[in-house]
Amino acid sequence: MKSDIGCGESGDGKFIYMNGILPLRYKMTVGQVKDNTLPALPIVLKKELGTKHSEIIFPTAPNLWQQADMNNVYGLTDAYSLEDIVGNNIHHIDDQEIFTFASNSLDVSKEPFFSLILSVSTHSPYDKYEGDNLFGNSQAFSQEYKNYLNTCHYTDRQIRTYFDTLKQKGIYDHSLIILAADHYAHLDMLKMDGQITDHTPLFIVHGQIDNKTAYRQECHQIDVYTTILDILGINNEWKGLGQTLLSPNYKNPINEETLHISEMIIEGDFFKD
């Protein structure tokens, strides 16, 4: 999957996934939309599927990068920040702490619910790693890239543990689970520029996707919103500016027209009543 972010990086990634709209090219999008009306997934799911509980778990201070404002504009009913995860012992947390908190807060009485969990361990800079050293003294890659791969393996283990909790609580089998990065890894900081691609993985669990007819090649972040609505059978008037991955008739949605439409939607507060 290709990243569609602008200068806002992580904030842009969340904005794309939540709304199916591209971020602004030359401004920080979250600073422009904090008072807008948006077609965010929690709002659409509440309207179309009766979802009453929607939450975000994020490993930063409540107001960093307009997070508190964006939680409101996205229609999230509950937000758990760094302070909620670690209490008064504020420190740089890792993914084990994040997913342990997410596991402990799971409440089957709140079904159906929407939950957005932001991990942190694989974030730059790549000067250290979490978990096991899988490369020993190998000189095949830069130390930064080895750190990153070790940490990816560590994060995978935390996700598996979280999945185990979902299964134990009887939630896993009837959940739609999307695993996606907010943006690409910085290849220059990994010292791997020109040696690997900046693609990111996309995993869709329990999407009931027919692999014989679904599109399975390079796609874009903006396609995730459209695909989620398609999987859930939501006939919302707004389907996002991306393409559904359930159909093989995929056309790259990223062009000057899509960028211009996104800018007009954001700057004109298009969805305001």
Name residue 2's beta-bridge partners: 220
Give counts: helices (H), strands (E), the chain: 9, 5
pLDDT in tens, 228-244: 999 999 998 999 999 99
The H or E element that residue 239 is part of is none
User: What does the mean pLDDT of the chain come to?
Assistant: 95
Show the beta-strand stretches assigned E in the chain: 53-57, 78-80, 113-117, 177-180, 202-205
Closest CA to 21 of 43, 1, 6, 42: 6
- Residue 89 pLDDT grade (very low, low, confident, very high; cuts 50, 70, 90): confident
Which has the closest alpha carbon to 175: 205, 196, 199? Answer: 205
Coil, helix or strand at residue 84: helix
| pLDDT score of 64 | 84
The pLDDT of residue 144: 97
Q: What percent of the chain has pLDDT over 90?
A: 94
Q: What is the pLDDT of residue 91?
A: 78
CA neighbor of 55 nearest in space, from 95, 113, 118, 99: 113
